[in-house]
């Protein structure tokens, strides 16, 4: 896992590098009781692998998934899309 959670920034305010190789879980969120209603773990992998997996799904299915980064927090589809679009996303390493 990276040294700092992804939400922490350095002294000058610029974001530090994201922990793309940090361990994470992919969860399927079932409707009816909020995000954590019947929250099911689908697979484990690195953040980069799971982001790539979600973005390879059909557009209408992507909102059904969330990624829980170990030691950090849960990323929903809006944040997953933003991370996928970052210039430092490791597209060739997944």
Per-residue pLDDT at 79? 96
Extents of the domains making up the chain: 23-87
Distance CA 80, CA 37 (A): 20
Q: pTM, whole model, 2 decimals?
A: 0.74
DSSP of 29-54: PPTTS-TTTT-EEEEEEEHHHHHHHH
Q: What is the pLDDT of residues 21-64, one digit of tens each?
A: 999 999 987 655 555 555 678 899 999 999 999 999 999 999 99
Q: How many CB atoms lie within 10 A of CB 47?
A: 26
Rounded average pLDDT over 77-91? 94
Distance CA 3, CA 33 (A): 34
Distance CA 14, CA 55 (A): 26
Residue for token pair 């689908």:
42
């Amino acid at each position: 896992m990276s040294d700092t959670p992804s939400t922490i920034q350095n002294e000058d305010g610029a974001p530090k590098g994201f922990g793309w190789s940090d361990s994470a879980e992919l969860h399927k969120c079932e409707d009816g009781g909020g995000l954590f209603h019947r929250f099911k773990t689908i697979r484990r992998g690195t953040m980069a692998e799971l982001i790539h997996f979600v973005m390879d799904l059909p557009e209408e299915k992507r909102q059904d998934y969330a990624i829980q980064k170990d030691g950090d927090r849960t990323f929903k589809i809006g944040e997953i899309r933003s991370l996928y679009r970052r210039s430092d996303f490791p597209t060739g390493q997944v």
